[in-house]
C-alpha cells in the first residue's frame, strides 16, 4: 500500500512538472535553435564583436540596399524611411508591358497584397523600369487596376540613373532594353525580392513558379517572426 502511494505521488509530480519543463525548453532552448533566413549579397567580417553564451563572435557587415528618393502613384516622395521597421516585398514592372496587371511579377504581387492587406508590418513596392512613360499620373491609373493603395503598395518612378543604381547595384536584378523587330522592348527580372527591416535581401523568388511563391509566403511569416524576436531581444 505504501509503494502504491509513493507511485501515485511520483506520477502526480511528473504530470505537474512536465508542462513547465517543456515551456522552459521552448523559451530558453528553442529560441537558440531558431533558424533565420539567409542574407544575400556581399558580406565582410567587421572589427567589432558580439557575445554568444560568453563567447566573442566577430560581427558581419551585410549588403544593404541603399536609400533612394522616388515618387509613388500619388505623387508623394518615398524613401526607405517611409516603411519604418516593416518588411518589404519588391518587384520590377512597367505599365506597357504589364497591361491590365498581366505581368508575372505584378500578378504575384497582387495576390500577396490581397493576402497581407491587413498586416501593418508588410509593405509592397513596385519599381517601374520605364520612368519616361510611367509618370505618377500614369501610375495612378494603373494603381486603380491593381487596387494598389499608396502607402501599402507603392508603385515608384523617378530619375532613371537612380532607378538603375537601385535595381542593379542595390537589388542585383536585371532590367534592360532590347530591339525586337522594329520595337525597343524592356526586359526585366521576374523575381520578387524579400527585404527585412534593415533593408537586407533575405530572398529571391521566381514569380512564374508556384513553388517559389509558396516558399515566399512561408518565408514572409518566418521573417515576421524573426523581426518580432529581434525586437523583443532589443537587437
Give me the CATH number covering residue 155: 3.40.30.10
pLDDT (0 to 100) of residue 20: 47
Q: Check if the beta carbon of residue 103 is closer than 8 Å to that of residue 93.
A: yes
In-domain check, residue 190: yes
Name residues of the chain where pLDDT drops below 50.
Answer: 13, 17-18, 20-33
Residue 115 maps to a domain: yes
Do the Cβ atoms of 128 and 156 come closer than 8 Å? yes
pLDDT for the residue 131:
95
Q: What is the pTM of this model?
A: 0.80
Domain that holds residue 174: 64-233
34 falls within a domain? no
Consecutive H or E run containing 78: strand 77-78
Domain count, the chain: 1
User: Does residue 37 fall inside a structural domain?
Assistant: no
Residue 127 in contact with residue 90, Cβ under 8 Å? yes
Give me the pLDDT at residue 92, please: 95
C-alpha dihedral (105, 106, 107, 113), degrees to nearest 10: 110
Q: Does residue 72 sit within a domain?
A: yes
CA neighbor of 98 nearest in space, from 88, 90, 110, 89: 110
Is the residue at 40 inside a domain?
no
> Residue 196 has what pLDDT?
98
> Does some domain include residue 2?
no
How many Å is the maximal CA-CA distance in the chain? Answer: 98
Amino acid at each position: 500500500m505504501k509503494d502504491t502511494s509513493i507511485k501515485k505521488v511520483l506520477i502526480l509530480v511528473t504530470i505537474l512538472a512536465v508542462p513547465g519543463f517543456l515551456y522552459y525548453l521552448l523559451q530558453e532552448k528553442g529560441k537558440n535553435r531558431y533558424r533565420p533566413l539567409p542574407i544575400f549579397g556581399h558580406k565582410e567580417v567587421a572589427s567589432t564583436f558580439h557575445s554568444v553564451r560568453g563567447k566573442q563572435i566577430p560581427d558581419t557587415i551585410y549588403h544593404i540596399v541603399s536609400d533612394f528618393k522616388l515618387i509613388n502613384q500619388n505623387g508623394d516622395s518615398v524613401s526607405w524611411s517611409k516603411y519604418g521597421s516593416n518588411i518589404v516585398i519588391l518587384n520590377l514592372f512597367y505599365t506597357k508591358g504589364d497591361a491590365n496587371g498581366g505581368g508575372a511579377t505584378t500578378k504575384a504581387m497582387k495576390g500577396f497584397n490581397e493576402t497581407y492587406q491587413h498586416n501593418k508590418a508588410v509593405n509592397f513596392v513596385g519599381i517601374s523600369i520605364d520612368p519616361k512613360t510611367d509618370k505618377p499620373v500614369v501610375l495612378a491609373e494603373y494603381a486603380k487596376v491593381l487596387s494598389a493603395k499608396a502607402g501599402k503598395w507603392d508603385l515608384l518612378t523617378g530619375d532613371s540613373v537612380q532607378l538603375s543604381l537601385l535595381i542593379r547595384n542595390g537589388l542585383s536584378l536585371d532590367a534592360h532594353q532590347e530591339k525586337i523587330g522594329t520595337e525597343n522592348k524592356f526586359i526585366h527580372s521576374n523575381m520578387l525580392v524579400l527585404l527585412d527591416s534593415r533593408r537586407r535581401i533575405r530572398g529571391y523568388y521566381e514569380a512564374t513558379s508556384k513553388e517559389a511563391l509558396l516558399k515566399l509566403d512561408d518565408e514572409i511569416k518566418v521573417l515576421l517572426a524573426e523581426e518580432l524576436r529581434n525586437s523583443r531581444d532589443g537587437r
